[in-house]
């Protein structure tokens, strides 16, 4: 029995979905523990693409139980649309396959209105780059102790009482501060009564179920969303998400005891990308030949928003921060194949900021924006990697690149991805094997 956490080590979009899908083969339970539908996981199975925003990636397996923990915030309409979409593709989602925590919070229509209104009110240089899906306002209500919980759907009286107070407060802000249209209490009640009827069979106590599974010797896989440097506490604040994305939140966001975690695998893209605003020291600007090549070959568009991802060289400073913050026991290196064909590769080993050397991301956002990467250079390789199925069959330069990533971070690769398909993966060490 093992409990394994998978997290992103950069700014998200590292390829977590594929790695979670791979490791799900060895798991009995797959648990999503934070974030909302501002995140997206893309899987390619037998040439078919599947994109998930809330449902854990393990849903494509028949004999697994997928769990949405209390740390996740849920837009019921989006969740039900995902369930319906899977059914259309032959993957029926029955309550025995999906459990939703009664303590997870609900994204309400007024959260989305507030999210968009606040972003639109900011000056261009101060915009966060939010997806506008209500994530921040929902987490604000959760911390402010006025949030709507999934379990509230099962108690119509409680739901209406809480909603009435919330709508009165939110409408004051929407209309007075932002000049936006007010939320309609009756329409929300009607909409969420339908949601409640559909979701009721899936709702339960996640913490109790996972603890029982652990006692029964089941393998549990915890699936993070976004990446380490989007963490609300440890990321490039304020250009972050509104939840804790690091491994420690796997326990908080599911009600699972921290002493029961056995492995933490960090998903590490072989280069670096970022969507939205915020510091990105190794960025290759749009129009740079290599940056554009990475973007095109790596299909670097956000799974949720479709926005073009900013691309840049590998950043060991970012990677080492992730090692420290997550307590990583292994890496899953993704998109190594995208680097094929580049004659030279660069890796940032430190930053220079106003004459000072940094081996970690500066806490000061002004200094983070000014960070200039210090690079070292390595030889690239010419051959494509998608047919490689053993480490020793990788080109010597690719092996040397991987070894350098290990030397710079002190963490060895456990998994290497050489293409987008499920089978285009090298499993060097199975974290569930002990």
Which strand (E) or helix (H) includes residue 189?
Answer: helix 185-199
Collapse the DSSP code of 344 into the 3-class scheme (helix H, G, I; strand E, B; otherwise coil) and give the result: strand
pLDDT band at 124 (very low <50, low <70, confident <90, very high): low
**Are 43 and 302 contacting, i.e. CB atoms less than 8 angstroms apart?**
no
Assigned token pair, 387: 């047919």
Mean pLDDT score of the chain? 94
**Are 10 and 406 contacting, i.e. CB atoms less than 8 angstroms apart?**
no
pLDDT band at 304 (very low <50, low <70, confident <90, very high): low
Q: Is the pLDDT of residue 199 over 70?
A: yes
What is the DSSP annotation of 300-331?
-B-TTT-PBPEEE-EEHHHHHHHHHHHT-SEE
Tell me whether the omega of the peptide bond preceding residue 170 falls within 30 degrees of 0, making it cis.
Answer: no
Q: Is the pLDDT of residue 349 over 90?
A: yes
- What pLDDT does residue 306 have? 73
What is the DSSP annotation of 246-273?
STTHHHHTTT--GGG--EEEEEEESSEE
Q: Choosing from 13, 115, 141, 321, which is the catalytic residue?
A: 13
Sign of the four-CA dihedral 325, 41, 107, 274: positive
pLDDT band at 123 (very low <50, low <70, confident <90, very high): low
Q: Is the pLDDT of residue 127 over 70?
A: no
Q: How far is CA 213 from CA 76, 154, 384, 433, in A?
A: 26, 25, 42, 18
The model carries a pTM of: 0.93
pLDDT digits (tens, 9 = 90+) for 158-185: 999 999 999 999 999 999 999 999 999 9
Could you write out the three-class secondary structure of 210-252?
HHHHHHCCCCEEEECCCCHHHCCCCCCCCCCCCCCCCCCHHHH
- What pLDDT does residue 422 have? 83
Assigned token pair, 296: 């095109």
Q: How far is CA 49 from CA 18, 89, 167, 388, 421, in A?
A: 11, 11, 39, 22, 9
Q: Is the pLDDT of residue 251 over 70?
A: yes
Collapse the DSSP code of 402 into the 3-class scheme (helix H, G, I; strand E, B; otherwise coil) and give the result: helix
Does the annotation count 13 as an active-site position? yes
Instruction: List the single range of 303-312, 348-357, 385-394 with lowest mean pLDDT.
Output: 303-312
- What pLDDT does residue 286 have? 86
Does the annotation count 41 as an active-site position? yes
- What pLDDT does residue 305 have? 67
Give the mean model confidence (pLDDT) for residues 143-156: 97
pLDDT digits (tens, 9 = 90+) for 38-66: 777 777 777 777 888 899 878 888 899 99
Q: How far is CA 61 from CA 55, 90, 220, 226, in A?
A: 13, 12, 14, 23
Q: Choosing from 21, 41, 115, 234, which is the catalytic residue?
A: 41
Give the mean model confidence (pLDDT) for residues 296-321: 89
Q: How far apart are the first and last CA of the chain?
A: 8
């Amino acid at each position: 029995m093992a409990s394994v956490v998978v997290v992103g080590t950069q700014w998200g979009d590292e390829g977590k979905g594929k790695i979670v899908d791979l490791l799900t083969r060895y798991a009995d339970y797959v648990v999503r523990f934070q974030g909302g539908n501002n995140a997206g996981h893309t899987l390619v199975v037998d040439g078919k693409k599947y994109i998930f925003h809330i449902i854990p990636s393990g849903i494509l397996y028949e004999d697994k139980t997928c769990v949405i923990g209390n740390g996740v915030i849920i837009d019921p309409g989006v969740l039900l649309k995902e369930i319906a979409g899977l059914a259309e593709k032959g993957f029926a989602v029955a309550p025995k396959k999906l459990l939703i925590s009664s303590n997870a919070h609900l994204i309400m229509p007024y959260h989305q209105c507030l999210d968009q209104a606040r972003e639109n009110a900011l000056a261009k240089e101060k915009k966060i780059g939010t997806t506008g899906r209500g994530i921040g306002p929902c987490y604000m209500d959760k911390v402010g102790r006025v949030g709507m919980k999934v379990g509230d759907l099962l108690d119509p009286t409680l739901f209406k009482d809480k909603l009435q107070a919330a709508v009165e407060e939110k409408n004051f802000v929407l209309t007075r501060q932002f000049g936006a249209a007010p939320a309609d209490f009756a329409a929300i009640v009607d909409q969420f009564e339908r949601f409640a009827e559909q979701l009721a069979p899936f709702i339960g106590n996640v913490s109790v179920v996972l603890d029982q599974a652990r006692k029964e010797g089941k393998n549990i896989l915890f699936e993070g969303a976004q990446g380490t440097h989007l963490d609300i506490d440890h990321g490039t604040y304020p250009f972050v998400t509104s939840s804790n994305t690091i491994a420690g939140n796997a326990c908080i966001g599911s009600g699972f005891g921290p002493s029961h975690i056995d492995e933490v695998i960090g998903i590490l893209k072989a280069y670096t990308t970022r969507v939205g605003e915020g510091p990105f020291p190794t960025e290759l600007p749009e129009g740079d030949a290599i940056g554009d090549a990475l973007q095109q070959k790596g299909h670097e568009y956000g799974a949720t928003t479709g926005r073009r991802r900013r691309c840049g060289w590998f950043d060991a400073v970012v990677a080492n921060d992730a090692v420290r913050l997550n307590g990583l026991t292994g890496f899953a290196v993704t998109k190594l194949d995208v680097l094929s064909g580049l004659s030279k590769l660069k890796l940032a080993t430190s930053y220079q900021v106003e004459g000072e050397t940094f081996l970690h991301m500066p806490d000061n956002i002004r200094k983070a924006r000014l960070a200039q990467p210090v690079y070292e250079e390595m030889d690239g390789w010419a051959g494509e990697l998608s047919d490689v199925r053993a480490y020793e069959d990788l080109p010597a330069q690719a092996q040397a690149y991987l070894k350098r990533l290990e030397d710079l971070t002190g963490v060895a690769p456990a998994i290497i991805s050489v293409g987008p398909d499920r089978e285009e993966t090298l499993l060097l060490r199975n974290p569930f094997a002990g």
